[in-house]
C-alpha cells in the first residue's frame, strides 16, 4: 500500500502519466465536464473534499509551470484566488473567461471533481518538468 502523497488510485495514475505541458483540471462540484473528458469524482458531500485540499494533495506530486483560472474568480471569489496564489506562489497565472475555461476542460487528461461549493473554484494545471 502506498504510504504518502496521492492515495486515490485514479488521481495517482493520471498524475503519473503526465508529461511536460500536459493539462489536469480540478474543480468545484458544479463544473460541467465535457463528454470524453475523464472525470474523477471525489465529491462525497458539500465541501468534502474541498478544492484546496485536493489541489494541495495533487501538488505533492505534480510539478506545475502554469495555471489557468477564470477571470470571474477575481471578483466572485477573491479569497479562493488568494489561496491558489499562496499554494502556487511562483507559478504563472493566465486568466480567461469562465466559458473558455469550461471548453478547455476537453483538452485535459482528467477533471477531478471536489465537493467545493464556492464559485469559480476551478483550475487547469499545466505540468512542468523536474529537470
User: How many CA atoms, within 13 angstroms, populate the side-chain half-sphere of residue 1?
Assistant: 3
CB 41 within 8 A of CB 110: no
Is 20 an annotated catalytic residue? Answer: yes
Give residue for cell 465535457. Answer: 34
CA distances from 75 to 64, 70, 78, 79, 104 (A): 25, 10, 6, 10, 21
Kindly name the residue from 20, 38, 46, 103 that is annotated as catalytic. Answer: 20
Q: Which residues have a catalytic role annotated?
A: 20
Amino acid at each position: 500500500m502506498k504510504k504518502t502523497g496521492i492515495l486515490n488510485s485514479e488521481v495517482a495514475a493520471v498524475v503519473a502519466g503526465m508529461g511536460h505541458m500536459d493539462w489536469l483540471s480540478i474543480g468545484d462540484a458544479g463544473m460541467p465536464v465535457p463528454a470524453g473528458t475523464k472525470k474523477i469524482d471525489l465529491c462525497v458531500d458539500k465541501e468534502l473534499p474541498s478544492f484546496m485540499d485536493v489541489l494541495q494533495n495533487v501538488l505533492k506530486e505534480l510539478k506545475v509551470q502554469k495555471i489557468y483560472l477564470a477571470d470571474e474568480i477575481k471578483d466572485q471569489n477573491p479569497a479562493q484566488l488568494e489561496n491558489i496564489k499562496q499554494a502556487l506562489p511562483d507559478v504563472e497565472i493566465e486568466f480567461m473567461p469562465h466559458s473558455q475555461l469550461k471548453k478547455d476542460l476537453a483538452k485535459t487528461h482528467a477533471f477531478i471533481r471536489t465537493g467545493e461549493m464556492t464559485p469559480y473554484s476551478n483550475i487547469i494545471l499545466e505540468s512542468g518538468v523536474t529537470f
